[in-house]
Homo-oligomer: A and B are copies of this chain.
Amino acid sequence: MTISPSPAPPQPIRMGDAYDPDCPTRQVLDRIGDKWAVLVLLTLTDGPVRFNDLRRRIGAISQKMLSQTLKSLERDGLVSRAAFATVPVTVEYALTPLAGGLIGILDQIARWAEHHVGDIMASRRAHDGNAPLPA
């Protein structure tokens, strides 16, 4: 998608000719589009949470996905990991300040969604008309 690199021009969004995986906006978009990453981020907004606790709170996530998601979030500097040498080891994950901005965006999305999802749903029903029965 390729957004203008540094200065903010009059036009809201500029794009190049083709798909660019290295585009800054693409990176963020991919993060936001990541189902589990968003859930993890949201679950951490109340403060630090331990691995299995996180797992239980999210419920429908597998160990593999949670571990994988946390690692990538940590790599991106959005989540911090703190290990304590207790009897059974204790590990706490928390949001970094950088993640705050992302939460803010998610908040924007949530607000827009609540206002307009009704329109989208209505459009879907209208579009599907009345012949959805496949059997």
Contact A77 B119 (CB under 8 A): yes
Contact B18 A59 (CB under 8 A): yes
Rounded to whole Å, the gap between the CB of A49 and the closest CB of chain B is 13
Question: Which chain A residues (13-50) contact chain B, with CB distance < 8 Å?
Answer: 13, 15, 17-19, 24-25, 27-30, 32-35, 38-39, 42-43, 45
Rounded to whole Å, the gap between the CB of A81 and the closest CB of chain B is 11
Contact B19 A29 (CB under 8 A): no
Contact B58 A18 (CB under 8 A): yes
Question: Which residues of chain B have C-beta atoms less than 8 A from A19's C-beta?
Answer: 35, 39, 58-61
A12 to B33 CA separation, bound complex (whole angstroms): 19
Contact B27 A42 (CB under 8 A): no
